[in-house]
Amino acid sequence: MWPLSINTNQLRDDGAIREGAQLVASAKEELTGEISRLENEIAGWASAWKGSGAAAFMNFQQNWNTRVSKLYAVLDEFSANLTGTAAQVEDTEADVSSSWGEMQGLLGG
């Protein structure tokens, strides 16, 4: 008896993992574009803003940029991991199919 129940719907690959990887990559691309747009807008008025408030904001923006870079790296890694998982599932499916083909051959048909 299996220690855990098996949901056979989870055992088939319908491209969802690769689609998930593409969605993550697309979301990162969209986020990158929006953040670039905001940075350009800020750069336009930042040169005219003086004083301690401006300095505090620029410090905040530097910290923000550091964290955004980390977020980009996480999204890239997540997308790559999903793609790798999809490849493993596809390889396993091919191996299983080949094994069953060999078994069929042993049966003479």
Minimum mean pLDDT range among 6-15, 22-31, 56-65: 6-15
CA distances from 47 to 23, 34, 36, 44, 64 (A): 37, 21, 17, 7, 19
**How many whole angstroms separate alpha carbon 73 and alpha carbon 81?**
12
Q: Identify which of 69, 42, 36 has the alpha carbon closest to the alpha carbon of residue 57.
A: 42
Q: pLDDT of 46-65, one tens digit each?
A: 889 999 999 999 999 999 99
Percent of the chain scored above 70 by pLDDT? Answer: 87
**How many whole angstroms separate alpha carbon 42 and alpha carbon 54?**
11
For residue 2, pLDDT over 60 is answered with no
User: What is the separation of C-alpha 14 from the centre of its chain, rounded to a whole number of angstroms?
Assistant: 18
Domain ranges of the chain: 23-106
Split at pLDDT 50, 70, 90, the class of 9 is low
Q: What is the pLDDT of residue 11?
A: 53
